[in-house]
Amino acid sequence: MTKQFWKRIAAFCAAIVMGTACCLPSFALPINNNITDTYFYNQNGQAVASPVSYRPVKVLSYRDMGATATFVPADMFVRNEYLYVLDQGGNQILVLDSSYNKVATISELKDTATYTVPDLNYYVYNEDGTREEDSALKKANKYAFKSPSGIYVTEDEEIYVADTENKRIVVCDIEGNCLQVYQNPSVDALGITFEFKPQKLVVDDTGTMSIISYGVNRGLLQLDSNGVFIQFFAAPKILVSVTEWVASLFQSKEQTAKIRNVAAEYVNVAMDSRGFIYTAATDTTSVSALRKLSFDGTDVLNQTDAKFTVIGDVETTDTTSPQIVDVAVNDEANTYTVLDARMGRFFTYNSTGMLLCIGGGSGNQFGRFKAPNVIECRDNQIIVADSGNKTITVYEMTDYATCVNDAFTQYKAGEYEEASELFERVAKYNSNMYVAYEYLGNIQKLYGSQADDDDPMRLQYYRNALEYYKLSETKQSYSECYALLRNAELSNYFYIIFFSAIIIIIGIIVLIYVRKYRKNRAEEQRRLDSQ
């Protein structure tokens, strides 16, 4: 039998399995059509009532920021007291202070004594197909941005701009003085069809740029501080559907060779203070839509406490699945927040993947979105840009969300007494917040494990933890804590059990001796009687 025969047999079996699966009842979570921004997910993945986590406090129109009706917010960045807003439609950067008043506009670059803005490579084509430089376009676009898409600001307040349609990265200061321009990175690995059109970028302490470039699906394009190509960094995984896999079983080698599965492209990128890079990809079906990349490109997104494998809303359908378009990192709070453009909501998680708060929503009301596309964090605020409404909305954390955030912050810092008080407050705010009970259980279990064997509170700590785990319905933690309690009880009563066992053993020995003694006496008496 040939390999082709066995290949067809495998395909037939796969088709049967798929057909059987389609006939099975669905176990997907039901859709809650009444979901608002005041909800949370319980331990079973069901939407439940929750206090408001984020409250809109300010909505800035393009007029408030001194822009025109062409305003299109493509990106934002918070550095120190300034919010940098990249206006793609107006080809400019708007700089706002901490009160969201405009303090500067960067609409063109300036030559400096140390650096002259280089000419751009613009060409026109003659009728015979030859190419010649277009000096008019050079002059018109040399000092101006053209559809810029991304912005990053360093600690020294050097502004990196992905000047997309000018096919360059520009570095300038808040006065518009040009510090550096990066154009046309040359590398054979890019291929002859490559066109450098940077869209988003981050810059580390060494000046290394990690860039999302238009049409590149091999990962982030990394350039050093001199603009020299380093590598493609952390390419997204190639997505292959079950249907495509089954179809490939029926195809010949020639047919299979003609099919190219294309990796999802990154759509946005962020970086935390430790140099970890967060990426949002076009994959909207799973947690892989968001990645946290280490220095070697490994995805190290910590999901140890995550209850669900979906970033964004849990209750989804094929037409309402999340579309993650941006991610923002709050280093002080040790959290990250993702923006779902399709649902118009943002979701905040702690460093271990635990969902903390949900905010936003689609609509025409105050603080709602039409087409949100950019998110940033500043202290206790969430800032969302909406390209549909041409607005920027500032959300502030409510007392409830602040309490949640502070509780996890104190817990991570090892301040368990303060964390315990905060989690108790969280539970009073929201009895549906099961994670509050879970972490209260964790603290009590920790107290029990750190207590001395002769500490009378040791067993009580474990019993308290069991009660909290019961409230949170955390079965695994409950079982682990129960085992610790049993071991502690055995340890506490060890000497009593030991000496009791000794006494029992001695008693058994004495009993055996007495019975043997009586038996011998009885036999001796019978012998005497027989004489």
Q: What is the 3-state secondary structure (H, E, C) of 458-490?
A: HHHHHHHHHHHHHHHCCHHHHHHHHHHHHHHHH
CB 211 within 8 A of CB 169: yes
Please provide residue 225's backbone torsions phi and psi, each rounded to the nearest 5 degrees.
Answer: -65, -15
CB neighbour class for 338 (10 Å; exposed up to 12, middle 13-18, buried from 19): buried
The pLDDT assigned to 154 comes to 97
Of 356, 382, 412, the last residue of a domain is: 412
Last residue of a domain, one of 370, 392, 412: 412
Residue spans of beta strands (DSSP E) within 71-204: 73-79, 82-87, 92-96, 102-106, 123-125, 131-133, 150-153, 159-163, 168-172, 178-183, 198-203
| One domain, residues 392 and 508 | no
Dihedral angle sign, alpha carbons of residues 287, 291, 294, 298? positive
Q: Do 272 and 214 sit in the same domain of this protein? A: yes
Say whether both 512 and 474 belong to one domain: no
Q: Which one-letter DSSP state was computed for residue 425?
A: H
Among candidate residues 348, 334, 286, the one with its CA nearest the CA of residue 314: 286
What domain count does the chain have?
A: 3
In a domain, 189, yes or no: yes
**In a shared domain, residues 396 and 421:** no
259 and 314 co-located in one domain: yes
- Whichever domain contains 429, its CATH number is 1.25.40
Residue whose structure tokens are 């007495």: 514
Distance of CA 41 to the CA centre of its chain: 17
Distance of alpha carbon 181 from alpha carbon 167, whole angstroms: 10
Is position 31 within any domain? Answer: no
188 lies in the same domain as 288? yes
**What does pTM read for this prediction?**
0.78
Domain boundary among 412, 431, 464: 412
Rounded CA gap, 468 and 441, in Å? 5
The enclosing domain of 383 has a CATH number of: 2.120.10.30
Helix, strand, coil: what percent of the chain each, to 5?
30, 30, 40
- Same domain for 499 and 487: no
Name the residue among 520, 377, 356, 495 with its Cα closest to residue 439: 356
299 and 367: one domain?
yes
pLDDT value of residue 289: 82
Asked if 422 and 403 count as a contact pair (C-beta separation under 8 A), the reply is yes
pLDDT by residue for the chain (531 residues), tens only, comes to 555 544 555 554 544 444 444 443 333 333 333 344 588 888 778 888 899 999 999 999 999 999 999 999 999 999 999 999 999 999 999 999 999 999 999 999 999 989 999 988 766 666 666 666 666 666 667 899 999 999 999 999 999 999 999 999 999 999 999 999 999 887 665 555 678 899 999 999 999 999 999 888 788 999 999 999 888 888 766 554 445 445 545 555 554 444 444 456 789 999 999 999 999 986 655 557 888 999 888 888 877 666 766 688 876 665 667 889 999 999 888 899 999 998 899 999 988 888 899 999 998 889 899 999 999 999 999 999 999 999 999 999 999 999 999 999 899 889 999 999 999 999 999 988 888 999 999 999 999 999 888 788 989 999 999 999 999 888 888 999 999 888 887 776 666 666 778 888 888 888 888 888 888 888 877 777 776
Residue 26 lies in a domain: no
Q: Hey, what are 60's tokens? A: 């800035």
Residue 8 lies in a domain: no
Both structure tokens of 439:
């972490």
Statement to judge: residues 356 and 268 lie in one domain:
yes
pLDDT of residue 18: 46
370 near 334, Cβ under 8 Å?
no
Q: Does residue 7 sit within a domain?
A: no
Contact between 6 and 248 (Cβ < 8 Å): no
Task: Output the pLDDT for position 262.
Answer: 45
Q: What is the pLDDT of residue 47?
A: 85
Identify the domain containing residue 429 by its residue range.
416-492
| Shared-domain flag, residues 210 and 347 | yes
Say which amino acid occupies 175. Answer: E
| Nearest-angstrom CA–CA distance, 391 and 367 | 10
The residues pairing with 183 across neighbouring beta strands, listed in sequence order, are 168
Residues 398 and 477 in one domain: no
Q: Does 337 lie in the same domain as 464?
A: no
| Residue 204, in any domain of the structure | yes
Q: What is the pLDDT of residue 45?
A: 80
Torsion of CA 514, 516, 522, 526, to 10 degrees: -170
State whether residue 7 is helix, strand or coil. Answer: helix
Q: Beta strands 381-386 and 102-106: pairing type?
A: unpaired
- Give the span between the Cα atoms of 372 and 361, in whole angstroms: 10
Report the SS3 class of residue 162.
strand
Q: What would the pLDDT profile of 254-290 be if each residue is shown by its tens digit?
A: 544 444 444 567 899 999 999 999 999 866 555 578 8
What is the rounded CA–CA span in Å between residue 469 and residue 481? 9
Q: Closest by alpha carbon to 167, among 121, 234, 128?
A: 121
20 is a domain residue: no
Residue 57 lies in a domain: yes
